[in-house]
Amino acid sequence: MDVRMIEKRDIEQVHEIEKNCFSDAWSITGIQESLDQNHTVLLGAWLDRKLSGYVIAYLSIDDCEIARIAVDGTCRRKGVALKLLEELKNVCLKRQVERIMLDVRSSNEAAVSLYGKFGFTQDGIRKNFYVRPTEDAVLMSFIIGK
Ligand SMILES: CC(C)(COP(=O)(O)OP(=O)(O)OC[C@H]1O[C@@H](n2cnc3c(N)ncnc32)[C@H](O)[C@@H]1OP(=O)(O)O)[C@@H](O)C(=O)NCCC(=O)NCCS
Q: What digits encode the pLDDT tens for the residues 58-72? A: 999 889 999 999 999
Q: Give the chain's length.
A: 146
Beta-strand (E) ranges in the chain? 2-5, 40-47, 50-59, 63-71, 99-105, 121-130, 135-143
**Structural domains of the chain in order of their starting residue, each with its CATH number:** 2-102 (3.40.630.30)
**How far apart are the CA of 84 and the centre of ligand 1, in A?**
12
Instruction: Decide whether any atom of ligand 1 lies within 6 Å of the 49 Cβ.
Output: no
Exposed, middle or buried, 57 (CB in 10 Å: 0-12/13-18/19+)?
buried
**How far apart are the CA of 8 and the centre of ligand 1, in A?**
26
Instruction: Decide whether any atom of ligand 1 lies within 6 Å of the 108 Cβ.
Output: yes
Specify whether the backbone of 63 is left (phi greater than 0), alpha (psi in -120 to 50) or beta. beta
Instruction: Decide whether any atom of ligand 1 lies within 6 Å of the 80 Cβ.
Output: yes
Choose among 78, 85, 82, 117: nearest CA to 101: 85
Rounded Cα distance, 133 and 2, in Å: 35
Instruction: Decide whether any atom of ligand 1 lies within 6 Å of the 21 Cβ.
Output: yes
Question: For the residues 105-126, what does the mean pLDDT come to?
Answer: 98
Percent of the chain with pLDDT over 90: 93
Q: Which residues of 64-91 are buried (b: 16+ CB within 10 A; e: fewer)?
A: bebebbbbbeebeeeebbebbbebbbeb
pLDDT digits 0-9 by tens, 94-111:
999 999 999 999 999 999
Instruction: Decide whether any atom of ligand 1 lies within 6 Å of the 82 Cβ.
Output: yes
pTM above 0.95, yes or no: yes
Predicted pLDDT of residue 146 = 66
**How far apart are the CA of 12 and the centre of ligand 1, in A?**
23
Select from 14, 69, 77 the residue to mutate for testing ligand 1; criterion: most ligand atoms less than 8 Å from CB: 77
Rounded Cα distance, 20 and 70, in Å: 9
